[in-house]
Amino acid sequence: MIPEPMKFLCSLLLLSLCLSGLVGAGYGDASATEPDRRGSQREFKIQPLSLTGEKLTYEVKFSRFPIYATVGEVTFELVGKPASPLPENLIEELSVGFKPEDNRGFIHLRALAVAKGFLIRLFGVSAQDRYETLVDEHDFGARLGFKRIQEGKKNLSQTTVFDREKQSAGYSVRDFNKPQEAAKESSVKITPGTLDLLSAIYFLRLQKLKTGETLRFPLNDEGQQYDIEVVVGKTEKLKTDFGKFKTIRVEPKIFGPGKLISRPGEMTMWLTDDDRRIPLKVVAKTSSGTVTANLIRMDGPHTIQAKKK
């Protein structure tokens, strides 16, 4: 069975890296983890709003002999700071009210994952998933997370509202195939500074990464709370279709019992060793095969596209 690219990648370019549920799964057991009460480190190398307008597009491939094929494309966008008060239509199809009592500003993040190539041709699997997150402008903690999942017959929305006063995350799932049924709701205790999948990708990029250190932060996904560790490796030269880059190699520890993905596996990411910390490549390996995400386009102040092979 082909592994779930989005879960791997939006799971901490995680790029998530964001092809959630194209196929197979393997989720962690929330009861097996206890939130780290120390919260998250917030020593940003760069300020989040300096990335406003940036859009990064990745091609996702799956390989397991004799298969090596494109399975999807993921785009990440830092939309920027929304108007205050928040527009009611800021996030399309959001069915949960979000009216924070504080007046702190927010930053809007978005990701879109689309199946293409091998999955559609061989299995007729279509998918288009949208992830949107609002984070606190000052400390980057997640305040609202939204997923719109359309994968084959699956047609869901998933919303998480992070309540700082109650230190809880309210999780709601709406099944559009069953409009007569009420949304399923649950709640879980969280640690201050908790992130979701999408905000975790940007949070990692904003940190002061130092070889040999381990970055730790709490993460909430689909009503479950996890403690994430990312080991910072050495700097490496990486050859890409954009040219050669000096990169920082990092390894998110998200596989195994009690982890974000319960099956055995490993993930490696390469970020540019500069002020933008751009994820250039992500590789996730399990017994099912290998998922690779490569950056193919950067839009923003300076648009760059990978050379066609």
d(CA 171, CA 154): 18
- Tens of each residue's pLDDT in the chain, 309 residues: 333 444 434 333 333 333 333 333 333 333 333 334 344 556 677 778 888 899 999 998 888 888 788 888 899 999 999 988 888 889 998 888 888 877 678 999 999 988 877 656 655 566 788 999 999 998 899 999 999 988 778 899 999 999 988 999 999 999 999 999 999 999 999 998 999 999 999 999 998 899 999 999 999 999 999 999 999 999 999 999 888 999 999 999 988 888 888 888 899 999 999 988 999 999 988 888 888 999 999 987 666 666 665
**Is 118 part of a structural domain of the chain?**
yes
Nearest to 56 by CA among 11, 137, 129, 112: 112
**Is 148 part of a structural domain of the chain?**
yes
**Is 31 part of a structural domain of the chain?**
yes
What pLDDT does 118 receive? 64
Helix, strand, coil percent values for the chain (each to nearest 5): 10, 50, 45
d(CA 296, CA 241): 8
**Is 307 part of a structural domain of the chain?**
no
**Is 143 part of a structural domain of the chain?**
yes
* Residues 166-204 as b or e (16 or more Cβ within 10 Å = b): eebbbbbbbeeeeeeeeeeeeebebbebbbbbbbbbbbb
What pLDDT does 64 receive? 83
Contacts of 178 (CB under 8 A, 6+ apart): none
Tokens of 140: 């980057």
What pLDDT does 37 receive? 39
The values of phi and psi at residue 190, to 5°, are -130, 165
- The structural domain count of the chain equals 1
Q: Residue 82: give the domain boundaries.
A: 5-299
d(CA 93, CA 130): 11
**Is 309 part of a structural domain of the chain?**
no
**Is 308 part of a structural domain of the chain?**
no
